[in-house]
Structure 1
Amino acid sequence: MKSMLTTSSPLQADGSHADAHAYRPRQAWGIAGWLTVLSAINFLDKVVLGMVAVPLMHELQLSPTQFGLIAGSFFWLFSLSAAVVGFAGNRVPARWLLLGMAVLWSLVQFPVALASTAAALLVSRVILGAGEGPAFPVSVHALYKWFPHEKRNLPVTLINQGAVIGLLLAGLGVPFITQHWGWRMNFIVLSAISVLWALGWLRFGREGNLRTHASSANATPAHIPYRRLLTDATVLTGFLAGFSAYWGLALVLTWLPSYLEQGLGYDPVSAGRMFAFVVAVGVPVSLGLSWCSQRMLRRGATSRLARVVFGCVCIGLGGLLFLCLPVLQLPPGGKVLMLALAATLPPVAFALGPAILAEIVPDGQRSAVIALSTAVATSAGAIAPVVMGRLVQAQAHGSAHGFELGFSVCGAVMLVGAVAGLLGQHPARSLRRLRGTDAAA
C-alpha cells in the first residue's frame, strides 16, 4: 500500500494544502535539477587539475609524485569538512549551506589561477576541497526532504549525472580553453560559473519538508546514539563499499587524462575527447542501473536485494575490469573502452548507499550519517592519486605500465569493498536492531 506521502494533498476551503508534508513532484524535480548543475560544477572543479596536468607540471616543474600529492591534497580536508558540515545540516537549512559552498568555490578559484609555486597551488586546492567536501551529502539530504523512500534512487542518480556532465564539459572545454588562453584561464571561468549558480539558487532554491518516517510501523526512534549507529554492520560495511568505489573515481579524475596522453600516446585534444567518451558512457549506464534497482523495489524486492546486492555486484565487476587492464593485450582504443566500463559500474553505489542509510537512520540524524559516509568514501581521494603517482614514477615515466599497475591496485580495493558490503549490509536486520526489536523478530 502506497504511503500518503506519495499523493497530492487535498485543498482546504481557503485553497491551502491540507498536508504541507505531501510529495510535490514538480517542485521536487526542479530542486533536483538545480542540484544536478551544482554537482556538475563540483566535478568540473575536481577534474580540471588533472586535465591541465601536463602543462602545469611542465610550467611549475613538478614530478609525478609531487603532482599526485597536490592532486590528493584536494581531499585532505574534503572528508573532514563533509563530516562537520553534515552535522550542521541536522540543524541548519540545506538551502543556506549549499549557497555558502557555491560562494566559497568561486572565491577560492582565483588563487589557483594565480598560483606560481607548488606550495601556493597546494594550499588553494586544500581550501577548495574543504569547501566542496559537504556538497554531495548536503545535496542528498536536501533531496530526501523532497522525495519519499521508494523514489530516491533516480533523483540521487541524476545528481551523479551532474558529475558526468561536468566531466564531459571538462573533457571538451578545458583543452580548448588551455590551447587558446592557457591553463590558468580554466579556473577563472569556473569561478564565474559558481557565482551564476549561487545567484540562481538564491532566487529559486527552497527547503523541502517531506518526512520519511512519519506514522510508520517501521519507523526508527526519533534519536539513536551515534555509538549505536556507527557500530552497525550495515553502516560500517556500507562506508567501506563507498570507499572502494571512490578510489576508482579519484583515479579517473586525477590520472586518466595523463594516462591517455603519456601512457596511450594520444595528443592533448584527442585525450580530452577520449576522456569525454569515458565519462559519457556513464550517463545511460548509471541511469539504467539506478532505474533497474528502483524497479526491483517497486516490484517487491527487498532493499537487501535491490540495493545492497545490486550495488556490490556493480562495484565488484568494475574492480575485475580494472584488475585485468594490464593483463590483457589490447590496443589503445580497447583499453579506453575497458576503462569506460570499469569506471561506469561502481558509481551506482553513490546513489544506493545513501538510500540504504536513510532507511535505518532517523531523519534528524540523516545529514550527519550521510556526511560521515561521504567523508570515509572521499578519503580514498587523498590516497589513490599518491599511490598512482608513486607507481608511475617507479616505472619509466611516460610508459603505460605504471599507470596500469595503479589501476590494478584500484581493482583489488574495489573487490575487497564489494565483498565486505555484500556480507555486512542487511538493512532490515539493522532496522530491527536499532529499534530494539531483535528479540521479538
Structure 2
Amino acid sequence: MTASPDFQAKSAWTMTVMLTGLALINFLDKIVLGLVAVPLTAELHLSPEQFGLVAGSFFWLFSISTVLVGFLSNRFPTRWLLLAMGLSWAVLQLPQAMATSALGLLICRVMLGAAEGPAFPVSVHALYKWFPDRKRNLPVAIINQGAAVGMLLAGLLIPLVTRQWGWRMNFLLLGAIGATWSVLWACLGREGSLTHQQAAAFARTETPRLPYRRIVTDRSVLSVFALGFTAYWTLGLSLTWIPSYFEKGLGFTGVEAGRCFAVVVATATPVNVGLSWLSQCLLGRGANTRKARVHLICLSAVAGALLYIALMLLHLPPQQKVGLLALACALPTLSFTLAPALLAEMVPDSQRGSLVAIHTALASLGAAFAPAVMGRILGAYGGGSHAYELGFMVSAVLLIAASLAALRWLHPDRSRKTLNHFSTQAAA
C-alpha cells in the first residue's frame, strides 16, 4: 500500500515534534504542584485538607472542557485551538507564582485544568489531519512519550529549582516555556489536509446512531468507565501526593524525593508498553478480547492493589517502598491504553470518538476526588508514612472493586452484538 499523495512527511513530523513539546509542558504543569507541596503548604499555611482540595481542583472542569472543546475541534481549526491553549497555560502560571492564599491558588488550578483538559484529544485530532490511517500509531505514541518525559524532567528539575530559587520560580519558568512554545506554534503550526477523502469514506459507511443513554448504561461500557475512574484515581495521587509522601513520610530530602518520583514515572512506561505488547500478542494468537484485554487489565489492577496493601503491611526500608510504589502506580495505567480499544470495539462506528471523549471526561473525575480524599486522611491521621499508606489503601479497594465488576460484567463481544442489534432496529 502506498502513502496518500497528499501526505507531507516533513510537515507532518514537524507537527508531531511540536505537539510532543505541548504534551511535555502539559504534564510539567500538572505535576509541579505536587513537587512543591512541602514548601508551598508551609509558606501559605495550608492544611493537608486544603492542599488536597486545591490539588484536586485541577480536574473540576477538566472533564467538561474536554468534551466541549472536543466538539469544537470538529468545527474550528485545531491550529488556533492549540495556540489558545498554549497561551492560556502560560498566562495562568503567573498568578500561581504570586498566590498568597488557598483560594487564589484554587481558582488558578481550576482555570488551568479547564484549559489543559482538551490538550490530548485535540492534539490527536490535529495529527490525524496530517497522517493517513496506517501511519497514525507512531506519532500518537510519540506524543504519549512526551507526557512521560515531562513528568520525568519534573521529578529531576523542579526540586533543584525550588532549592535554588524557591517554589514560586517554577511557575515563572513554566510560564516562559509555555509562551515560547506558543510563539513557535504561531510561526510553524499549520492545519493538516488529510480529511476530505476520509470524511467521504466515513459518510458512505456510517452506521445508524444510538441514543447515548443506551450506550452509557450498557454494563460493559460502565465497567470500562469504572476501570478508567480507578486508574485516574491512582494518577491523581501520583501527581499530587507521592512526592510529599517520599519527603514527609519516608524522610527523603526534596531533591531525593524528586529523584524517587522520577523512578516512579520511569517505571510506568516499560510496564505499560510491555503489558500492551502482551495483549497484542494474545490477540495475535487467537485469544478473544475478554481474555487479551479485560482479564489483563483486571489482573494488572488487582496486582497493583495488592502492592498498595503490601506497602502498608510490610515493614520495608524506604528504598524498597519506593520500588513497591513504582510498580503499584504503573500496573493500573494499562487501562489508559486498552480502555479506548474496548470502547471502540463495542459501539457503532459513528459514535466511537465521542464515547472515548465521554470516557476520558468521566474517568478523570477520579483524579479530582483522590487528592481531596488523601488530604482528609492526612488531616485525620497525621502526616506520617502510615497515614499516606492508608490513603493508598483506598486506591487498592477501588481497584479491586472495579476489577471484580469488570470480570463479572465486561463482555465486549456480548455488548457489541447487543448494541449492534439496537443499531439495526433503529435503522429499520
Q: With structure 2 as the length reference, what TM-score do the two structures score?
A: 0.88
Aligned counterpart, 2:67: 83
Residue segments in structure 1 that go unaligned for 5+ positions in a row: 1-6, 11-16
Report the more deviating stretch, 74-83 or 221-230. Answer: 221-230
Contact kept? 1:175, 1:272, Cα under 8 Å: yes
1:82-110 Cα distance to aligned partner (Å, 9 max, x none): 22223333444444433322222112111
Compared CA separation, residues 215 and 28, structure 1 to 2 (3 A): same
Q: Report the identity percentage.
A: 50
Deviations 1:115-141 (A, max 9, x none): 112211111111001111122333344
> Structure 1 residue 182: deviation in Å?
1.4
Equivalent pairs counted in the alignment come to 421
In structure 2, the CA distance between the partners of 1:438 and 1:376, relative to structure 1 (3 Å rule), is: closer
List per-residue Cα deviations over 1:224-273 (Å, max 9, x = no partner). 33222222333221111100011111101100011001100001111111
1:333 matched to 2:327? The reply is no
Aligned to 1:375: 361
Structure 1's 419 and 147: CA in aligned 2 closer, same or farther, altered over 3 A?
farther
Quote the residue 1:101 is aligned against. 85
| CA distance in 1 between partners of 2:14 and 2:283 (Å) | 24
Distance in 1, matches of 2:406 and 2:245, equals: 30
Conserved? CA contact 2:209–2:423, under 8 Å: no
Q: CA deviation at 1:181?
A: 1.6
Task: Please tell me whether residue 236 in structure 1 is matched to residue 230 in structure 2.
Answer: no
Name 2:405's counterpart in structure 1. Answer: 420
Q: 1:94 to 1:9 in 2, by over 3 A?
A: same
Quote the offset at 1:111 in angstroms.
1.0
| 1:114 CA drift (Å) | 1.3
CA shift for structure 1 position 30: 5.9
SS at match of 2:313: coil
- SS of residue matched to 2:386: helix
Partner amino acid, structure 2, of 1:396: G
Equivalent-residue separation in structure 1 for 2:227 and 2:9 (angstroms): 31
Deviates more, 1:304-313 or 1:89-98: 89-98
Q: 1:339 to 1:51 in 2, by over 3 A?
A: same
Residues 110-119 or 405-414, more deviating: 110-119
- 8 Å CA contact retained: 1:32, 1:159: yes
Distance 1:200 1:8, change over 3 A: farther
Q: 2:180 aligns with which of 193, 196, 203?
A: 196
* 1:37 maps onto 2:21 in alignment: yes
Q: Quick one: distance in 1 between partners of 2:259 and 2:199?
A: 42
1:50 and 2:34 are equivalent in the alignment: yes
- Asked if 1:407 corresponds to 2:392, the answer is yes
Are the structure 2 counterparts of residues 299 and 365 from structure 1 closer, same or farther at C-alpha, using a change threshold of 3 Å?
A: same
Q: Tell whether the 8 Å contact from 2:70 to 2:122 is kept in structure 1 after alignment.
A: yes
| Residue 417 (structure 1) shift | 1.9
TM-score normalised to structure 1 length:
0.85
Equivalent position of 2:235 in the other structure? 249
Tell me, yes or no, if the aligned pair for 2:276 and 2:337 is still in contact at 8 Å.
Answer: yes
AA aligned to 1:110 is L
CA contact (8 A) 2:377 2:391 kept: yes
Q: Is the 8 A contact 2:301 2:331 kept in 1?
A: yes
Q: In structure 1, what is the Cα distance between the partners aligned to 2:135 and 2:264?
A: 30
- The Cα shift of 1:365 comes to 3.8
Q: Distance in 1 between matches of 2:132 and 2:393?
A: 38
Matched, 1:176 2:160: yes
The alpha carbon displacement at 1:378 in A equals 1.1
**Larger mean Cα displacement after TM superposition, 302-311 or 57-66:** 302-311
CA distance 1:201–1:289, change in 2 (3 Å): farther
Higher helix residue share: 2
How far does residue 352 in structure 1 lie from its aligned partner after superposition?
Answer: 1.6
Matching residue of 1:290: 276
| Residue 48 (structure 2) aligns with | 64
Using the alignment, how far apart are the partners of 1:366 and 1:26 within structure 2?
Answer: 30
Matched, 1:304 2:298: no
Distance 1:438 1:63, change over 3 A: closer
